[in-house]
């Protein structure tokens, strides 16, 4: 039985009494959260892992690229990696002598290549299914594409899917949950029915349906993961709003005639965010898991893209190539683990803060 963490995460909210004593917004809360967080070694380790993955995602092009950082050729110096960015942004052109040249095969040139001198899409028809070796640290796949490059660039894809999908889920979930919790009565009833409908839909099945039928694209994947996983966030938000709505400072703001929208988003929401934050972190992990499942089934990933899940998909068809199974799976595992550790750490930190000190 697989359940996404979003739906089974416990609400972090506790006794109402303790919250009243917490500051309504502000730096004070988050700075002390960070201080407490730092005291948990496991969670901190997770956080550093997350940073490392983010680094790989952002700087992937510098870690694995078929163009060198620096090239000295026929007396002139070039910086192909950087120029490549500029050309793609249409801000520059390739000098004639560098047009579509094979850097590795230039005679009489000295070049400094990135640590992994391949892009994940570089095909080498003469080196399929290579076992891990000094040329290809993690081996190659059926078309000779370097797996390590695939790992590094795959981080970018997985993380962006995670962030965007959860971003969509947060926006939908918070807004709906806030409205439901704030207004109560029939609004709540209707929106709660909507929650039920979303819960009753077999999500994974729906994902497969949409991803398999519509032309594959990363954005579609992000969108559908996001639009099917907002219910947990919505529920927490709704519960928090229901609770905070009745606190004195809110009722007085309403009595003073502050407009609903301001009350909701300026007064209540910042205090209601704690469980949402935890859900976001866990949700990113969940979205990465779902995406890997989809690309493992061979759907939702455009043909030219190499993702962690698509390499696993190949692995199941070529079981002798164990490196295709071990590395991408480990990457997903480490990513998800680090997000879980951070999420759990945050939850523990935020929980007692809200319940008062135990």
Nearest distance from residue 241's CB to another protein, in Å?
11
Residue 337 neighbours by CB under 8 Å, 6+ apart:
46, 49
Q: Among 312, 342, 346, 350, which residue interacts with another protein (rule: CB under 8 A)?
A: 312
Nearest distance from residue 270's CB to another protein, in Å?
21
Q: Among 89, 91, 99, 255, which residue interacts with another protein (rule: CB under 8 A)?
A: 99
β-pair partners for 140: 146
Among 341, 234, 207, CA closest to 282: 341
**Which residues within the stretch 44-63 sit at the binding site for another protein (CB under 8 A)?**
none
Distance CA 143, CA 141 (A): 6
Nearest distance from residue 328's CB to another protein, in Å?
8
Question: Segment near another protein (CB under 8 A), from 22-30, 52-60, 252-260, 328-336?
Answer: 328-336
Three-class DSSP labels, 205-226: HHHHHHHHHCCCCHHHHHHHHH
Q: Are the CB atoms for 271 and 243 separated by under 8 Å? A: no
**Which residues within the stretch 242-261 sit at the binding site for another protein (CB under 8 A)?**
242, 245-246
Q: Are the CB atoms for 67 and 101 separated by under 8 Å? A: no
Question: Segment near another protein (CB under 8 A), from 21-29, 147-155, 239-247, 252-260?
Answer: 239-247
Nearest distance from residue 28's CB to another protein, in Å?
28
Nearest distance from residue 100's CB to another protein, in Å?
5
**Which residues within the stretch 102-141 sit at the binding site for another protein (CB under 8 A)?**
102, 121-123, 125-126, 128
Nearest distance from residue 211's CB to another protein, in Å?
9
- CA dihedral 185→188→194→196, nearest 10 degrees, is -90
Each residue of 294-330: b (16+ CB within 10 Å) or e? bbbbbbbbeeebbbbbbbbbbbeeeeebebbbbbbbe
**Which residues within the stretch 16-35 sit at the binding site for another protein (CB under 8 A)?**
none
10 Å CB burial of residue 88 (0-12, 13-18, 19+) is exposed
β-pair partners for 76: 73
Q: How many angstroms separate the Cα of 282 from the Cα of each of 1, 29, 89, 238?
A: 18, 21, 35, 19
Instruction: Give residue 122's region: left, alpha or beta (phi > 0; psi -120 to 50).
Output: beta
Report if residue 87 touches another protein, rule: CB under 8 A: yes
Q: Among 215, 219, 257, 357, which residue interacts with another protein (rule: CB under 8 A)?
A: 215
Considering beta carbons, is residue 169 or 344 the nearer one to another protein?
344
Distance CA 14, CA 134 (A): 55
Q: Are the CB atoms for 285 and 5 separated by under 8 Å? A: yes
Report if residue 39 touches another protein, rule: CB under 8 A: no
Nearest distance from residue 166's CB to another protein, in Å?
17
Q: Among 15, 32, 93, 160, which residue interacts with another protein (rule: CB under 8 A)?
A: 93
**Which residues within the stretch 194-213 sit at the binding site for another protein (CB under 8 A)?**
194, 196-197, 199-206, 208-210, 212-213
Question: Segment near another protein (CB under 8 A), from 56-64, 73-81, 142-150, 231-239?
Answer: 142-150
Report if residue 94 touches another protein, rule: CB under 8 A: yes
Report if residue 329 touches another protein, rule: CB under 8 A: yes
Considering beta carbons, is residue 171 or 197 the nearer one to another protein?
197
Q: Among 67, 163, 328, 349, which residue interacts with another protein (rule: CB under 8 A)?
A: 328
The long-range contacts involving 30-35, CB below 8 angstroms and separated by at least 24 positions, are 32/353, 33/346, 33/349, 33/350, 33/353
Report if residue 89 touches another protein, rule: CB under 8 A: no
Question: Segment near another protein (CB under 8 A), from 21-29, 130-138, 162-170, 188-196?
Answer: 188-196
CA atoms within 13 A on the CB side of 273: 16
């Amino acid at each position: 039985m697989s359940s996404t963490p979003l739906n089974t995460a416990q609400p972090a909210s506790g006794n109402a009494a303790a919250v009243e004593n917490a500051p309504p917004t502000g730096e004070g809360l988050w700075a002390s959260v960070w201080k407490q967080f730092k005291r948990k070694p496991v969670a901190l380790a997770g956080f550093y892992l997350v940073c490392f993955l983010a680094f790989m995602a952002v700087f992937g092009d510098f870690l694995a690229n078929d163009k060198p950082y620096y090239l000295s050729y026929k007396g002139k110096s070039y910086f192909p990696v950087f120029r490549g960015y500029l050309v793609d942004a249409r801000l520059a052109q390739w000098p004639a002598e560098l047009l579509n040249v094979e850097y590795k095969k230039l005679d009489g040139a000295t070049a400094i290549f990135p640590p992994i001198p391949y892009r994940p899409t570089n095909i080498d028809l003469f080196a399929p299914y290579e076992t891990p070796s000094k040329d290809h640290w993690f081996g190659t796949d059926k078309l000779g594409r370097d797996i390590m490059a695939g790992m590094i660039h795959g981080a970018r894809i997985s993380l962006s899917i995670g962030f965007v999908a959860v971003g969509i889920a947060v926006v939908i979930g918070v807004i709906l949950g806030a409205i439901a919790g704030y207004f109560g009565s029939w609004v709540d009833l209707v929106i709660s029915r909507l929650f039920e409908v979303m819960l009753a839909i077999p999500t994974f099945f729906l994902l497969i349906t949409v991803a398999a039928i519509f032309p594959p694209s990363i954005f579609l994947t992000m969108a559908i993961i996001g639009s099917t996983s907002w219910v947990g966030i919505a529920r927490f938000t709704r519960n928090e709003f229901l609770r905070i709505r009745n606190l004195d400072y809110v009722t007085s703001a309403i009595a003073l005639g502050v407009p609903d929208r301001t009350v909701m988003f300026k007064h209540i929401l910042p205090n209601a965010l704690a469980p949402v934050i935890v859900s976001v972190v866990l949700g990113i992990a969940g979205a990465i898991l779902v995406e890997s499942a989809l690309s493992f089934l061979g759907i939702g990933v455009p043909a030219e893209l190499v993702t962690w899940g698509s390499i696993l998909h190949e692995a199941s068809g070529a079981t002798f190539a164990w490196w295709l199974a071990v590395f991408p799976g480990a990457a997903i595992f480490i990513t998800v683990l680090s997000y879980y550790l951070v999420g759990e750490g945050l939850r523990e930190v935020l929980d007692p803060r809200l319940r008062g000190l135990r």
